Chains A and B, each alone.
With several copies, the nearest count.
Chain A
């Protein structure tokens, strides 16, 4: 697996370059997910966001997601780039590209990737609202961390 397929960067993400990383002559389908900064969340207005990462571990976790995907859907290839730092409305925060000979797998694997990012990749978002600021946690809203032990972060077999 090419390590540069999983990156944390501070500059704007070039979507095409992420797609290029997974494009190959055997794969007829490439799906991408582009996560952008939303202006309104439940009636509250965002001015800008700040993303912070534990960079070396975040890259490791992205690589792990890539590995999980290639095990679940063989023949797929994955590239993920997450941007950190200060982002304003409609800026691209994350791009996930998955290529596959079969489109079904390309969609499924892509959706799996974003779910896993929200579970295990050490990146945090600080919302700067019109009327205050907050660090956001637990976006999935179904991850409970009793005793700081979400099983989802452990590789199968470790527990």
Chain B
């Protein structure tokens, strides 16, 4: 199982801050595809991914127990 965190417009679009997925292992890229197809989130193209609070590459692997955050373009400051 992995935990997925959502922020900003993604959070509003989805209507929740987090959800869980029953998966063992897959790449960041594949996870994005899976979520696009199953959850009706359309704005994932320009979204970064962090695994356990560190930015991840599309080829990085998400494993059991990881916390995966979708990071839309940031606008702090």
Contact = CB atoms under 8 A, between A and B. Distances in A.
B5 A54 contact: yes
A154 B8 contact: no
Chain A: interface secondary structure?
mixed
A135 B71 contact: no
* Interface size class of chain B, counting residues whose CB lies under 8 Å from the partner chain: 20 to 34
A89 interface: no
Contacts of B77: 35, 82, 93-94, 114, 117-118, 121, 123, 139
A19 to B, nearest CB: 17
Sort chain A's interface into a size bin: 35 or more
Interface of A: 35, 51-54, 56-58, 60, 82, 93-94, 114, 117-126, 135-139, 143, 145, 147-150, 153-154, 159
The list of the 6 closest CB pairs from A to B, nearest first, reads A123-B76, A137-B73, A124-B8, A138-B73, A57-B53, A136-B75
